[in-house]
Amino acid sequence: MQKRIIVLWFLSFILISEGQNYQCPSIENRIYQVQTRFFSYNPFYFLMLFLPNGIIYEISNIANGLNADSLGLSLQFAPHIGFYECLNSSTLHITDFGYIFKSNEVEVLTSNGHFAFHDYFFYFENGTYKECVGTLRYKFYETGTNPFDITNIPVFISAPGRITCSLMTDSRQA
């Protein structure tokens, strides 16, 4: 009798845990276009590819410089890679990172460039995962340091920016 109770308790625990497990299967293998707006800058865009196992790849329409029209200054930065996780059925958290290169136009970037760290929150409505709204904050760390080290202090932290996203492709429908 005691074994049956333990087995039933264990199975109940697994079923409850399975119901709370947000593994993001609805996001995998999809590409979203993300519009980002900070302060008084014109909007700029990112493409985000959500790979299996919580990996993300991000590129920007202004990454290689020539973005003075959008930002009022010319910046160059590398593609970003990172991680994503579903916090619940409608909220996605993304952490991605890459390099932003030296620029004499931005005081904090006049040295050897920096390690850029993006922190996104996407909020989806109706469980469709076709469109979202959300926020983006970014931080700059000294190049060559580890931004995951909790003792590492960023040299710059942005105010939050607003984002919207829309689904561009879904490889499951191809």
| Domain-embedded: residue 137 | yes
- Residue 14 is predicted with a pLDDT of 35
- Residue 68 is predicted with a pLDDT of 64
| Domain-embedded: residue 78 | yes
Residue 28 in tokens:
């995998």
- Residue 92 is predicted with a pLDDT of 94
* DSSP letter assigned to residue 130: S
Residue 173 in tokens:
């429908």
- Residue 120 is predicted with a pLDDT of 95
- Residue 152 is predicted with a pLDDT of 94
Containing domain of residue 131, as a range? 23-173
Q: What is the pTM of this model?
A: 0.77
- CATH number of the domain to which 164 belongs: 2.40.160
| Domain-embedded: residue 61 | yes
- Residue 126 is predicted with a pLDDT of 78
Count of Cβ atoms closer than 10 Å to residue 67 Cβ:
20
| Domain-embedded: residue 1 | no
| Domain-embedded: residue 17 | no
**Mean pLDDT, the chain cut into blocks of 10 residues (174 residues total):** 45 38 75 85 85 91 64 74 92 90 70 84 88 93 89 91 90 58
- Residue 171 is predicted with a pLDDT of 65
| Domain-embedded: residue 13 | no
Question: For the chain, how are helix, strand and coil distributed in percent, rounded to 5?
Answer: 20, 45, 40
How many structural domains compose the chain?
1
| Domain-embedded: residue 136 | yes
| Domain-embedded: residue 7 | no
- Residue 162 is predicted with a pLDDT of 92
